[in-house]
Amino acid sequence: MIGIFYLVRNLVNLKMTAAISKDALYPKNEEDFSGMIIPNEWKEMEPISKKSKSYRYVKWGTIAVLCTLIVLLVIALTTDWLKESYISLASLFFLVLNAVRHPGSLYILPKGIILNGKFVFFHEIKHFETEQIVRWHHLYGLDEKVNNAYKLTFKLKRTIFQPEIIVVRTAAQLEQITSLLEQRGAHYKESVPKEGA
């Protein structure tokens, strides 16, 4: 049941994100989008719209997963077919949950940010940090676009999964993003360099 709630909430968040991302203060143009790199995939950030391929993938993927989960729930409650396979069903469930996530994103809006498909008010941001990705950094070498770029990390209040990161290619873009965040009340935390880094 929690998984079904999670999927529905993600779909609602994504629809809201597609609707309000048009009002973003940043990014506004193609250069802004190309300057932001999404972790794990190491691709440039793409605009969120209801016509985009990733939006349709998440929308129809979520609907398909919800239907499958409801069928499995009915089978599990009414028969003994799935009695011995709870562990494998749980693994399959978490695999499917992660498969329909929208690719990462960061939009700065007048009242908050959209971070990875979820709207976050500025007062819900505990702080944000920046650090340059130079040699010996744990992200250095994962992709050519990431080397010598900047890691922007968000720590959010009242969330279990921390931190949320975006990679910004240039210092000028990072300065623009951090100044917009600070102007709207998000707190900047100075990064302390680690020994040996």
Asked whether residue 196 is domain-assigned, the answer is no
Q: Classify burial at 158, counting beta carbons within 10 Å of its beta carbon; exposed 0-12, middle 13-18, buried 19 or more.
A: exposed
What's the confidence (pLDDT) of residue 162? 64
Closest to 181 in 3D by CA, of 193, 194, 166: 166
Sequence-separated (6 or more) residues with CB below 8 Å from residue 62: 7, 8, 10, 11, 100
Asked whether residue 197 is domain-assigned, the answer is no
Asked whether residue 37 is domain-assigned, the answer is yes
Please give the tally of structural domains in the chain.
Answer: 1
Structure tokens at 197: 């880094």
> Contact, 177 vs 169, CB < 8 A?
no
- Could you list the residue range(s) of the whole structural domain that residue 47 is in? 2-59+101-183
What's the confidence (pLDDT) of residue 163? 65
Q: Which helix (H) or strand (E) holds 8?
A: helix 2-20
B/e letters for 93-106, b = 16+ CB within 10 Å, e = fewer, are eeebbeebebbbbb
What's the confidence (pLDDT) of residue 196? 47
What's the confidence (pLDDT) of residue 171? 94
Per-position pLDDT tens, the chain of length 197: 666 777 788 788 888 888 888 889 999 999 999 999 988 788 888 888 888 887 888 888 888 888 877 887 787 778 776 666 555 666 766 777 667 777 788 999 999 999 888 888 999 999 999 999 999 889 898 899 999 999 999 999 887 776 678 999 999 999 999 999 999 989 888 765 554 44
Sign of CA dihedral 20, 25, 30, 36: negative
CATH number at residue 138: 2.30.29.30
Asked whether residue 117 is domain-assigned, the answer is yes
Asked whether residue 75 is domain-assigned, the answer is no
**In the chain, at which residue ranges do the beta strands (DSSP E only) sit?**
36-38, 43-44, 106-108, 112-115, 118-121, 125-132, 150-156, 164-168
What's the confidence (pLDDT) of residue 68? 79
Asked whether residue 82 is domain-assigned, the answer is no
Asked whether residue 130 is domain-assigned, the answer is yes
Asked whether residue 83 is domain-assigned, the answer is no
What's the confidence (pLDDT) of residue 84? 63
